[in-house]
Chains A and B, each alone.
Chain A
Amino acid sequence: MGNDTLLAEAANGQDPAEGLRAVRALRDLAERLENLQVNNARSHGWSWQEIAAFLGVSKQAVHKKHARRVGQ
């Protein structure tokens, strides 16, 4: 079964419980990847503005979310 079939099934037939569980897991994964990639960008000397541009959010949002965690 290819990815297309899986995604089609996920979109059409899935029980709300399973579907929402998948969304939550995906959101969790996205959050963790964001942490790793923001750290990485900062270690490469990127500014909050540059990181925000790539994430498609405001500089303020990125700073508020990550600055304390990263340590500045």
Chain B
Amino acid sequence: MFERFDEDARYAVARAKSEAIRTSQAEVGTAQLLVGVASGVDLAAEALAAAGASVGQLRKLIPRGGGPGGLEPLDAEALASIGIDLDTVSRATDAAFGPGSLTRTRAQRRIRRRKSSSPRMAEGAKAALTLARHAALRLGHNHISTGHILLGVLDQPASPAVSILKSAGVDVAALRAHVTQELTRSESPGRPEAPDQ
């Protein structure tokens, strides 16, 4: 599967896997692929950063795995988005059960045995890599690069990755056009300027 991937692309996939492990995800999904690409120093990573989706920004928006509750603080922003003021709730529990009672109690976690093998690729991520190959073929490129992987991710509008990009305020269509343009330019230095499509 990875024969025609160039070195940067292989690193991006490897980083995506590390990211999944780091955040206790069972699968490597499109969101982790995004982080893998964004962690590089090539045109795809630059395009993402310029669009407002650097690694740091992406990580803030990607949920950690491991089930509900656990050891993380309550997500006040998410609760506010559905009309729940966490401060009001905290004040009530503080008054009834003592200061900080809401933060001191923890949600139950079902004990889940950690898989010792590395996380598998989610269907969406596999699809993104297939679409990456198609993109490379379509553009007449010999190798699959991180730019093609990014296009493969962007070509799945219903994926978690695109959902996350949108909530980061990224103009997905503009990013896609920009990446395509940069890919075309970088792979054919000798070609005369083609008119804008």
Chain A residues with Cβ below 8 Å from B167 are: 15, 17-18
Chain A nearest CB from B85 CB (Å) reads 10
Count residues of chain A with CB under 8 A from any CB of chain B: 27
State whether B105 touches A18 (Cβ < 8 A): no
Whole-angstrom CA separation of A25 from B69 in the bound complex: 8
**Interface positions of A from 24 to 52, Cβ below 8 Å from B:** 24-29, 31-33, 35-36, 39-40
With A and B bound together, what is the CA distance between A14 and B72 in angstroms? 24
User: Is there a chain A Cβ closer than 8 Å to B89's Cβ?
Assistant: yes
B64 → A minimal CB distance (Å): 10
Contact string, B160-187, partner A, CB cutoff 8 A, digits 1/0? 1001101100000000000000000000
B83 contacts A32, CB within 8 Å? no
Interface size (B, Cβ < 8 Å)? 29
A31–B97 CB distance below 8 A: no
Is there contact, CB below 8 Å, between A21 and B75? yes
- The answer, among A17, A31, A39, A40, for a CB contact under 8 Å with B107, is A31
Contacts A28-B107, A31-B108, A40-B96; is A18 near B68 (CB within 8 Å)?
Answer: no
Q: Which of A17, A35, A39 has a CB less than 8 Å from the CB of B160?
A: A17
- B29-74: which residues lie under 8 A (CB-CB) from chain A? 61, 63, 68-69, 72, 74
Q: Are B105 and A36 in contact (CB under 8 A)?
A: yes
Q: A15-B163, A36-B93 are in contact. Are A29 and B83 (CB under 8 A)?
A: no
Contact of A15 with B166 in the complex, beta carbons under 8 Å: yes
- On whether A22 and B69 interact (CB within 8 A), knowing A17-B61, A31-B108, the answer reads no
Q: Tell me if B79 is interfacial: C-beta within 8 Å of chain A.
A: yes
Contact of A31 among B63, B69, B79, B160 (CB under 8 A): B69
Closest beta carbon of chain A to B23's beta carbon, Å: 14
Interface residues of B (CB under 8 A from A): 61, 63, 68-69, 72, 74-75, 78-79, 81-84, 86, 89, 93, 96-97, 101-102, 105-108, 160, 163-164, 166-167
Give 10 A-B pairs besides A28-B69, A32-B105, A65-B108 with Cβ atoms closer than 8 angstroms.
Answer: A6-B82, A10-B83, A16-B160, A21-B78, A21-B81, A27-B68, A31-B69, A32-B69, A36-B97, A36-B101
| Residue contacts A-B, CB under 8 angstroms, 21 given | A3-B83, A7-B82, A17-B167, A18-B78, A22-B81, A22-B82, A24-B63, A25-B78, A26-B84, A28-B68, A29-B84, A29-B89, A31-B68, A32-B69, A32-B74, A32-B102, A35-B105, A36-B97, A36-B101, A36-B102, A40-B97
